[in-house]
Amino acid sequence: MNPPPSSPTAIPPPARRAILIRRVRLFVAATITYNVVEAIVAITAGTIASSTALIGFGLDSIIEVASAAAVAWQFSGPDHERRERAALRIIALSFFALAGYVSIESVRALLGTDRAEHSTIGLLLAAVSLAVMPVLSAAQRRAGRELGSASAVADSKQTLLCTYLSAVLLVGLAVNSLFGWWWADPAAALVIAAVAVKEGREAWRGDTCCTPAAALTDTTGSGSDTDRCADGCCTVD
């Protein structure tokens, strides 16, 4: 028999909430710092190598900074619950911006106007990001779920999407260098764009089941909040 799922409605005690808020702030600061460095390296290397893929990856890092900054702003004051909706909207718009840019550049590449070029720095950067970003994403997602913050969870998904883009960039640059399959990077990037649209829609709608206050208001016993949390959005791993 499978164990019962963790309850998404439990409210952490004040001391635990303070710890979780500090953790979210730390993870957000680490994400912003890493992505600023990543953006500078990627855009510079992409310009030198005339690589649209690398430049696009650098621009994605800037979008990730905007998403993380929204969460940093939300948790910069004591009224972070009231700021959650605005933070979610900013995160959603960052997803849509990423999807739009990646889609346009992927179509341009597939039509032959731009093709990803070999870049040793790009390969190394993608490999490092592929190792770093999943750790940051998992840590922030776990803290966000326990805290009951939909925006922190959404931003962790943005970071995870950056991981997917790192894998796409790494595979695209590698197979292009080894086999000349220039179309591999833009084709895979279109899949990432579709995922970004999906995540953006979820962030825009918001997942109120993630907030303990919303869970407490369900006094009907209908289980509707639990049903909407069936995807494990806010359960603690």
> How many distinct structural domains can be found in the chain?
1
Mean residue pLDDT of the chain comes to 75
Q: Can you give the CATH number for the domain in which 99 is found?
A: 1.20.1510.10
State the pLDDT at residue 84.
Answer: 79
- Residue 37 binned pLDDT confidence (cut-offs 50, 70, 90): very high
Query: Higher-confidence residue: 13 or 232?
Result: 13
Global pTM reads: 0.65
Residues 183-222 as b or e (16 or more Cβ within 10 Å = b): bbbbebbbebbebbeebbebbeebbbbbbbebbeeeeeee
Most confident of 13-17, 40-44, 162-166: 40-44
- Residue 36 binned pLDDT confidence (cut-offs 50, 70, 90): very high
State the pLDDT at residue 80.
Answer: 66
State the pLDDT at residue 6.
Answer: 43
State the pLDDT at residue 228.
Answer: 41
- Percent of the chain whose pLDDT exceeds 90: 5
In a domain, 24, yes or no: yes
In a domain, 5, yes or no: no
Q: Which candidate, 224, 165, 219, places its Cα nearest to that of 192?
A: 165
pLDDT over 70 at 229, yes or no? no
In a domain, 1, yes or no: no
- Residue 230 binned pLDDT confidence (cut-offs 50, 70, 90): very low
State the pLDDT at residue 23.
Answer: 84
Mean pLDDT of 194-215: 65
Separation between Cα atoms, residue 52 and residue 58, nearest integer Å: 10
In a domain, 79, yes or no: yes
Query: Higher-confidence residue: 118 or 142?
Result: 142
Q: Residue 1: what residue type?
A: M
In which residue are the tokens 């791993």 written?
Answer: 237
Domain that includes residue 184, residue range: 14-206
Mean pLDDT of 37-44: 91
Query: Higher-confidence residue: 68 or 116?
Result: 68
pLDDT over 70 at 173, yes or no? yes
Query: Higher-confidence residue: 38 or 81?
Result: 38
- Residue 78 binned pLDDT confidence (cut-offs 50, 70, 90): low
Long-range contacts of 87-91 (CB under 8 A, 24+ apart): 87/151, 88/150, 88/151, 88/154, 88/203, 88/204, 88/206, 89/203, 89/204, 90/66, 91/67, 91/151, 91/154, 91/155, 91/158, 91/200, 91/203
In a domain, 217, yes or no: no
In a domain, 69, yes or no: yes
In a domain, 237, yes or no: no
Separation between Cα atoms, residue 149 and residue 24, nearest integer Å: 10
Query: Higher-confidence residue: 19 or 36?
Result: 36
In a domain, 35, yes or no: yes
Q: Which of 22-26, 106-110, 136-140 has the lowest mean pLDDT?
A: 106-110
